Amino acid sequence: MGGDMMKMMNQMMAAGMMRGMMAADGMGMGEGGPMRQMMSPERVEGRIAFLRAELKVTAAQQPLWDAVASALRANSAASKGMMPAMTGGMMQPGASQKPLPQKLSDMERMLSARLDGLRRLNAVLDPFYASLDATQKSIADDLLMPMGMM
C-alpha cells in the first residue's frame, strides 16, 4: 500500500465513506476485519519494514529511524491492551448501558494513552523528519499519518 492508497483512504474518510469499514461488524474494525488486521499490534514489524522501505531510509538516517521504529513498537505494545475497548467495548451492544461516569473514564483512559503515544513518537520523529529530503518528506507525510501513529 503506497502513498496513493493512503491519500485515497484519507479522502474517503473525509467523505464519510469509511464508516462501514470502521464499524464493529466484521467488515472493518470488528474482530478479523481488514482494518483491524492492518492496525493489529501483531503486524507492527511489517508496518515498520514497509515504512522503512517506502521512505528509502539511508545509512546516515538509520539511527534516527531506529528511534522512530522503537517508538512505533512501544505505541503498538501500549495500544494492544486498548484495542478490545476501542473496537469492541465501546461499539458492542450493551456498551451504551454503561453509566456515563464509566463511559467517560474509559474514554479518558484511551485518550490519555493515545496522547502519551503521540508525545513519544513526536519526540523522535522531529529529528528523523528533519533528516529527510523533500521526496522522503512527501512520502512520510502520506504514510505516517494516521496509520504510522499506531
From residue 105, how far is each of 62, 75, 111 by CA, in Å? Answer: 40, 21, 10
Q: What value does the mean pLDDT take over residues 112-139?
A: 95
Q: What is the pTM of this model?
A: 0.64
- Collect all residues with Cβ–Cβ distance below 8 Å to 145 and sequence separation of at least 6: none
- The whole-number pLDDT of residue 10 equals 57
- The whole-number pLDDT of residue 82 equals 67
Tally the domains of the chain. Answer: 1
- The whole-number pLDDT of residue 77 equals 86
Domain around 39: 3-149
Q: Which is more confident, 90 or 107?
A: 107
Q: Is the pLDDT of residue 31 over 60?
A: no
- The whole-number pLDDT of residue 145 equals 73
Q: Which amino acid is at 128?
A: F
